[in-house]
Structure 1
């Protein structure tokens, strides 16, 4: 059975997303994760070498984006690399990709909820407000994808205003920490910073996972992925250079909210307010798109019984996988209550890098008629994913291996049960 025919199992989604919608969803996913969460740990790992790490992460992301784009054009259905892995490499490869994506991005969603609340409210209120944000955005996603795209556009616009203010201040002001020596630059540290910063580029996956809802997917998806990634790379470079100029590598490594610290160098109160609002908006945009993407991948996995079939239901009016999205929202709320921001970044990067490893391997198998980019990019992307996974913090690697093993064990048991012949008393 082909990917297209599987859409009828549980109901097909409606194609309503335009090129602009798809770009906005990709940008909303990337901007919130990268600018407000990943630069501080990257600076702690590599100091000023994070600029080299940013280039490495951007190149690997570009390789992954080209693989995802050409696969999405050939298989324009929900599920992203879960579908591509099944079609090109087999059911186990698809499950490995889908499970890696779901667990990694669920942790990332919790991190974005906490980022929003950290900027928006005082400390004691952070977790309650984060849980409330998850609940509200889950409901928004559950009443239609066009509402998701519209809200994402608004949040991205607010975030871009705040980032513009931060970049201008960063290039025109400096703090005392700018003259202090930063962490030592080592090759390992640079690669680890690239692993953290890769977390910032992973948002374009949301475009591919929503392929069943994009208008003219063969043309729209590749353009949206490459455009969103290009805009994000330019933006990240400006933020990284301006932040290093204002705070220095030592200052950037030591602050929890680096762009807030940049605003403080101006001596005025209003830049800090603008940046707090922008950070909160960016985190909400990322959270909104992440919940949508996880829901679509869960839908695709449920269609194949790799998750319970109950999650394959599509709402008869709003044409969205509402059960999957409501379940994702519930799990994210639980994680918000028990996790912290920095620990989620490494764990999320672990899952997403494995997801793109399968994407690159799948793209390598495509025939010439469906290949839009050289095979060498897929090879470079796969090698880069493996290298960055190996340089992540040990706790993130250990936690990732444990959770991936749980998923593989679940599927193994399910297949064994499905193949078990019925006992005599069970035969009607």
Structure 2
């Protein structure tokens, strides 16, 4: 097993500039994003009035994943997240598979966020707006993580203000007095689990803090503090928004809503808030996209350093201190996807890859010793089981596509190993 210092000691290291506040804001920017605007309606269709139960299940899995990731990130404060943890704790193959699942799944998620922004900004030209957003935010990331953190802080503040207005309008309206919050009366176990898998998509941003490990000051203390703070704030916000929308629309109305938050404020008699909700949804999607490009490029950097991806992507810009080639490569792929793919397909595929990624994170955390900061044993066990169950509960098309891509990545790893042993690695 490699020493953590070696894992972080590659040539061309990134500069450590982020404190707890910046790390929390980056996590919030990734979690409090388009998911809360988009995931509630499909989750309600799956779970009915069991939506809040699904939210609670997603929160439990997210907490376990966050705890496991934070302990591992403190031990291995290098860019790459579970790609590094799986490699160090379970072996090269599992680290590679985690990195492959993250890069592929989150690249699809980048496209989904860009398309969400496009659908709110200019519904008739969603793909054009999505491509423009990817180009602009890739340029922001290229200019340095410090500027990215500042912009994310502004976006998070605006989105939180919009969500607070939605909650206040819904709970203060007369419409909320006539709707019933009848939790679980028409829910099925399968529907609740599928809703939890869909809602988990909106929670997954706390990985961004771990993948920025090489750019965080004092990562041993900063990362374990930042992850639960960011997750806790997100849980409170999501629970408040879901409860408020349910009290106004009820489960059936929420399930049928095309834009649930906009329809909730209309039903609450606050139609003047609709433009602000639309703008907030677009900003939320852009905030998530900003953080996603940041995280995917860092995992790409780590995999390129170990030659699982082209080694040219491991370059760090001498002026800006960012993995500029990895960022440009990720941006180019996302532009292509945003111009061509369907939003629903991108989200489903991404969810499967993210859950596979966290399953490996929990398995890695299980191997930590008490001296290495191991979490209570129940945490990685629940996290691993939860990831596998939620992944299998997703729509069948997402499960099949995700499993096929993971298998293709595993096959490529085997081909590379065979070629390397024969002395001519591809």
Q: Please, what TM-score do these two structures have when normalized by structure 2?
A: 0.95
C-alpha deviations, 1:192-227, integer Å up to 9, x for none?
A: 101111111110000000000001100000110000
* Shift in alpha-carbon separation, 1:269–1:241, aligned structure 2, 3 A: closer
CA contact (8 A) 2:7 2:78 kept: no
Name the counterpart of 2:421: 419
CA contact (8 A) 2:365 2:375 kept: no
Residues in 2 aligned to 1:412 and 1:237: alpha-carbon distance in whole angstroms = 44
CA contact (8 A) 2:248 2:268 kept: no
CA contact (8 A) 2:34 2:282 kept: no
1:129 and 2:129 equivalent? yes
* Shift in alpha-carbon separation, 1:16–1:180, aligned structure 2, 3 A: closer
Q: Report how far residue 4 of structure 1 moved.
A: 3.3
Residues in 2 aligned to 1:335 and 1:119: alpha-carbon distance in whole angstroms = 18
Where 1:14 maps in the other structure, the secondary structure is coil
Name the counterpart of 1:90: 91
Name the counterpart of 1:12: 13
CA contact (8 A) 2:194 2:390 kept: yes
* Shift in alpha-carbon separation, 1:339–1:414, aligned structure 2, 3 A: same
Residues in 2 aligned to 1:255 and 1:264: alpha-carbon distance in whole angstroms = 12
Name the counterpart of 2:301: 299
Q: After the TM superposition, which of the residue ranges 262-271 and 279-288 deviates more from structure 2?
A: 262-271
Provide the alpha-carbon RMSD of the alignment: 1.9
CA contact (8 A) 1:178 1:249 kept: no
Name the counterpart of 2:146: 146
C-alpha deviations, 1:244-289, integer Å up to 9, x for none?
A: 1111111211222211111222444430111111111111110000
Segments of 5+ residues of structure 1 without an aligned counterpart are 423-428
Q: Report how far residue 228 of structure 1 moved.
A: 0.3
Q: Report how far residue 301 of structure 1 moved.
A: 0.5
Residues in 1 aligned to 2:221 and 2:157: alpha-carbon distance in whole angstroms = 25
Equivalent residues in 2 for 1:333-412 (5 A)?
A: 333-412=335-414
Residues in 2 aligned to 1:60 and 1:52: alpha-carbon distance in whole angstroms = 13
Q: Report how far residue 24 of structure 1 moved.
A: 0.4
Equivalent residues in 2 for 1:76-87 (5 A)?
A: 76-87=77-88
Q: Report how far residue 87 of structure 1 moved.
A: 0.3
Q: After the TM superposition, which of the residue ranges 371-380 and 85-94 deviates more from structure 2?
A: 371-380
Residues in 1 aligned to 2:200 and 2:391: alpha-carbon distance in whole angstroms = 10
CA contact (8 A) 2:50 2:185 kept: no
Residues in 2 aligned to 1:362 and 1:217: alpha-carbon distance in whole angstroms = 18
Residues in 2 aligned to 1:369 and 1:9: alpha-carbon distance in whole angstroms = 25
Residues in 2 aligned to 1:242 and 1:179: alpha-carbon distance in whole angstroms = 11
Name the counterpart of 1:34: 35
Name the counterpart of 1:425: none
Name the counterpart of 1:247: 249
